[in-house]
């Protein structure tokens, strides 16, 4: 951190101490940047972040990211909902394991064909797990503080100004200065609006409700997820009721208070019963509005998480998308700040993450299209249900939902390049997750080649050379892995040095550090 005569100047100011802002703060601080996080809420607790409202499904990519920073054990130990690590048929007679859903249609883990995921190794972390949002934020805030991040709560960002060299941020109480600002301030982002980002997309078709209620006559409702002629209702656990009303998003748009009378009338209409809600304890609404910032960067201001993209929470993708943004942006912004970013490194945040965000928005739109209470949508729903029960169908939906199918186009013909690296384990027991915890890139050499070691030494401040036999090398001889765990280069044969040199120079710099 620099000090001007009047004020500290942070490398990065982050607006929002949600999961994305906090994870990004950890990534930047790990790379020795000074970080200030400004958060509107005075304290980190909220019933909407606690179970059952705060239940969030983490996908494979998020779990791998947390593992690669040593954060997983803190979440995993008390996690009661963890899926088995190995995707295999359950024993005959036992209940099929639910793998997730698309438009409310469940796919089963047992139906998946793991052989289609060539690089998913037996040493992989769990493909998905359920976490509590509040707990995730507390774990991330604790790590951020341990890394020296300053988190200021009760500071609502109200405006910003940027020059070619810095950004000034106003809150309702103070002014702060930084070289960069990242808006992680959620779907209604003030940063996005103040910096003039375009937020393009589609308007909602429904209002969704998550409510905690007492029902006088719960037997009048059917169990499970019920799609009816006017919407959907689901009681996922006693008293926790989720509703979907195809009102064009009108209720949420009007900003009306959510009363017991309103929820009861809605539930009666959707369920076609005269069920009675005797008390409404807590309620929140959401919609399927799907918008994405057309660019993720304007000058020295960047966006990540819900500030950059919003969509319906169907099938649980938003948090995973945001954590992926943070993992992708952190090391690139840090390298830019520390003066060792190759040309175009920061631009690759947009070129890699924007298409992934657009895919998730379409994934949610496709679900809405077959959830509409119309005969055409129901007919399509039935076809998707049939397809999802096939082996290829379940594997496709799991690959998309769990993030296993995600691949950045890095211009290589090798099928692994651009994907999250397999969770290799060396014969001495060291895992890739452990090797990546310092936040440096890894050149993993399974056969011990002198020229690879020499090349890695040219990038020694950013790249760690590791030689050792892997328990399951997946047919590979050597792999270059970026700090975010993405494969930048891979070789199944004796390495072609030209391609490796090109890949190393694209992501890392030979120059010694010179802070900008
Ligand atoms: C019902 C529901 C279920 C969901 N389930 C899943 C799931 O299973 N899996 C999944 O991946 N995703 C899920 N999501 C989506 C997920 O919760 C969000 O995508 C995720 O929380 C976004 O994180 P974020 O850090 O970007 O934003 P947020 O969590 O919104 O955090 C933004 C932070 O910024 C702060 N802030 C806002 N304005 C300002 C300001 N002006 N100044 C300072 N601070 C500010 C806020 O107080 C907040 O702390 C679900 C969403 C909902 C609504």
Closest-lying ligand 1 atom to the alpha carbon of residue 57: 8
Closest ligand 1 atom, residue 17 Cα = 49
Polymer length of the chain: 516
Distance of alpha carbon 167 from alpha carbon 187, whole angstroms: 22
Place of tokens 């209470």: 373
- Residue 204 DSSP one-character state: -
Q: What is the DSSP letter of 405?
A: T
Do strands 175-183 and 301-303 pair parallel, antiparallel, or not at all (unpaired)? parallel
> 233: which residues sit within 8 A by CB, 6+ positions away?
221, 226, 241, 242, 243, 244, 267, 270, 271
Tokens 């960002």 correspond to: 157
Tokens linked to 368: 């809405």
Q: Are 194 and 314 in contact (CB under 8 A)?
A: no
106/83 Cα distance (integer angstroms): 15
CB neighbours of residue 223 within 10 Å = 9
CB 249 within 8 A of CB 205: yes
Residues 6+ apart with CB under 8 A from 268: 274, 275
Question: What pLDDT score does 74 carry?
Answer: 87
Which residues on adjacent β-strands are paired with residue 100? 107
pLDDT at 97: 82
Q: For residue 306, how far is its CA from the centre of ligand 1 (angstroms)?
A: 6
Residues 177-188: tens digit of each pLDDT: 999 999 999 999
Look at residue 96 in the predicted model and tell me its pLDDT: 74
Other Cβ atoms within 10 Å of 17 Cβ, number: 26
Contact of 447 with 493, CB cutoff 8 Å: no
Tens of pLDDT along the chain (516 residues)? Answer: 666 655 799 999 999 999 999 999 999 999 999 999 999 999 999 999 998 899 999 999 999 999 999 999 888 644 444 555 556 655 666 677 888 999 999 999 999 999 999 999 988 888 989 999 999 999 999 999 999 999 999 999 999 999 999 999 999 989 999 999 999 999 999 999 999 999 999 999 999 999 999 999 999 999 888 888 889 999 878 889 999 999 999 998 898 899 999 999 999 999 999 999 999 999 999 999 999 999 999 999 999 999 999 999 988 899 999 999 999 999 999 999 999 999 999 999 999 999 999 999 999 999 999 999 899 999 999 999 999 999 999 999 999 999 999 999 999 999 999 999 999 999 999 999 999 999 999 999 999 988 999 999 999 989 999 999 999 999 999 999 999 999 999 999 888 899 999 999 999 998 665 555
Q: Whose CA is nearest to atom 31 of ligand 1?
A: 18
Q: Is 178 in the pocket of ligand 1 (CB under 6 A)?
A: no
DSSP string for 431-446: BHHHHGGGS-EEEEES
Q: Is the CB of 298 under 6 A from ligand 1?
A: no
What is the 438 CA–ligand 1 centroid distance (Å)? 27
| Residue 38 CA, closest ligand 1 atom number | 43
Read off the pLDDT of residues 293-340 as tens digits, 9 standing for 90 and up: 999 999 999 999 999 999 999 888 999 999 999 999 999 999 999 999
Whether 420 lines ligand 1, by a CB cut-off of 6 Å, is: no
Cβ of 131 less than 6 Å from ligand 1: no
* Residue 324, ligand 1, Cβ within 6 A: no
Q: How far apart are alpha carbons 471 and 221 in whole angstroms? A: 52
DSSP character at residue 296: S
- 407-427 b/e with 16+ CB inside 10 Å = b? ebebebebebbbbbbbbbbbe
Looking at the CA of residue 321, tell me the nearest atom of ligand 1.
11
Between CA 28 and CA 34 the distance in angstroms is 8
Ligand 1 center from residue 41 Cα (angstroms): 13
- Token pair of 452 as six digits: 């690879």
pLDDT at 77: 47
Q: Is 363 in the pocket of ligand 1 (CB under 6 A)?
A: no
What's the rounded Cα separation, in Å, for the pair 504 and 334? 17
Q: How far is the CA of 186 from the centre of ligand 1 (A)?
A: 5
Instruction: Map tokens 């979440």 to a residue.
Output: 75
Q: In which region does residue 186 sit, left (phi positive, over 0), alpha (psi from -120 to 50) or beta (all else)?
A: left
Report how far ligand 1's centroid is from the alpha carbon of 439 (Å).
Answer: 25
Pocket mutation for ligand 1, best pick of 56, 132, 136, 212 (most atoms within 8 Å of C-beta): 56
pLDDT at 495: 82
Of all protein residues, the one whose alpha carbon is nearest to atom 37 of ligand 1 is 185
The residue whose CB lies within 8 Å of the most ligand 1 atoms, and thus the one to mutate among 169, 185, 190, is 185
pTM: 0.95
Pocket test residue of 14, 18, 21 for ligand 1, highest count of atoms within 8 A of CB: 18
Separation between Cα atoms, residue 70 and residue 252, nearest integer Å: 39
DSSP annotation string for 110-141: GG--GGG-TT--TTPPPS-EEEEHHHHHHHHH
Nearest to 58 by CA among 139, 133, 112: 133
Q: Give, for ligand 1, the residue of 174, 244, 316 to mutate: max count of ligand atoms closer than 8 Å to Cβ.
A: 316
Whose C-alpha lies nearest to ligand 1, atom 27? 186
Cα distances (Å, whole numbers) of residue 46 to 50, 76, 183, 254:
7, 21, 21, 24
Q: For residues 134 and 41, what is the distance between their CA atoms, to the nearest angstrom?
A: 13
pLDDT of residue 76: 63
- Does the Cβ of 314 fall within 6 Å of ligand 1? no
- Before 52, cis peptide (omega within 30)? yes
Q: Please choose, from the candidates 513, 511, 473, the residue with its C-alpha nearest in 3D space to the C-alpha of residue 493.
A: 473
- The verdict on the CB of residue 83 being under 6 Å from ligand 1 is no
**Helix orientation angle between 318-337 and 19-30, rounded to the nearest 10 degrees:** 30
Helical packing angle, 391-401 and 375-388, nearest 10° = 100
Q: Which atom of ligand 1 is nearest to the CA of 171?
A: 42
């Amino acid at each position: 951190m620099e000090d001007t005569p009047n004020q500290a100047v942070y490398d990065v100011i982050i607006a929002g101490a949600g999961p994305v802002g906090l994870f990004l703060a950890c990534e930047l601080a790990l790379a020795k940047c000074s970080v200030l996080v400004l958060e509107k809420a005075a304290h980190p607790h909220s019933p909407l972040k606690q179970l059952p409202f705060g239940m969030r499904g983490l996908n494979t990519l998020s779990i791998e990211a947390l593992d690669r920073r040593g954060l997983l054990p803190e979440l995993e130990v008390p996690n009661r909902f963890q899926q088995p690590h190995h995707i295999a048929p359950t024993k005959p007679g036992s209940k099929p394991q639910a793998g997730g859903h698309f438009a409310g249609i469940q796919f089963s883990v047992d139906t998946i064909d793991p052989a289609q995921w060539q690089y998913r190794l037996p040493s992989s972390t769990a493909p998905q797990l359920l976490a509590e949002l509040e707990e995730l934020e507390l774990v991330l805030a604790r790590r951020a503080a341990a890394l020296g991040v300053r988190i200021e709560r009760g500071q609502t960002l109200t405006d910003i100004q940027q020059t070619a060299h810095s950004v000034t941020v106003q809150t309702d109480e103070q002014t702060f200065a930084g070289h960069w600002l990242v808006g992680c301030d959620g779907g209604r982002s003030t940063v996005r609006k103040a910096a003039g980002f375009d937020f393009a997309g589609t308007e909602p078709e429904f209002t969704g409700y998550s409510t905690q209620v007492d029902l006088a006559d719960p037997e009048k409702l059917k169990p499970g997820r019920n799609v009816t002629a006017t919407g959907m209702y689901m009681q996922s656990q006693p008293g926790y009721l989720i509703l979907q009303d195809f009102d064009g998003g009108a209720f949420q748009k009007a900003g009306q208070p959510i009363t017991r009378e309103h929820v009861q009338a809605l539930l009666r209409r959707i369920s076609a019963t005269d069920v009675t809600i005797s008390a409404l304890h807590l309620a929140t609404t959401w919609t399927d509005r799907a918008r994405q910032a057309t660019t993720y960067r304007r000058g020295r201001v960047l966006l990540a998480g819900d500030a950059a993209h919003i969509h319906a929470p169907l099938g649980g993708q938003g948090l995973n998308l945001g954590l992926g943004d943070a993992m992708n942006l952190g090391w690139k912004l840090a390298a830019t700040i520390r003066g060792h970013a190759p040309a175009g490194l920061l631009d690759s945040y947009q070129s890699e993450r924007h298409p992934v965000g657009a895919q998730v928005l379409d994934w949610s739109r496709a679900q809405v299209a077959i959830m509409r209470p119309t005969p055409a949508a129901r007919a399509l729903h039935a076809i998707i249900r049939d397809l999802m029960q096939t082996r290829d169908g379940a594997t496709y939906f799991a690959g998309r939902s769990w993030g296993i199918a995600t691949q950045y186009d890095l211009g290589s013909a090798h099928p692994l390049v651009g994907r999250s690296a397999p969770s290799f384990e060396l014969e001495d027991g060291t895992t890739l997750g452990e090797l990546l915890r310092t936040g440096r890139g890894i050149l993993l050499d399974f056969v011990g080649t002198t020229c690879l070691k020499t090349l890695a030494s040219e990038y020694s401040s950013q790249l760690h050379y590791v030689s050792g036999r892997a328990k399951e090398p997946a047919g590979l001889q050597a792999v270059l892995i970026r700090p975010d765990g993405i494969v930048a280069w891979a070789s199944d044969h004796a390495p072609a040095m030209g391609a490796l040199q090109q890949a190393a120079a694209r992501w890392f710099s030979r120059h010694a550090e010179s802070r900008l």
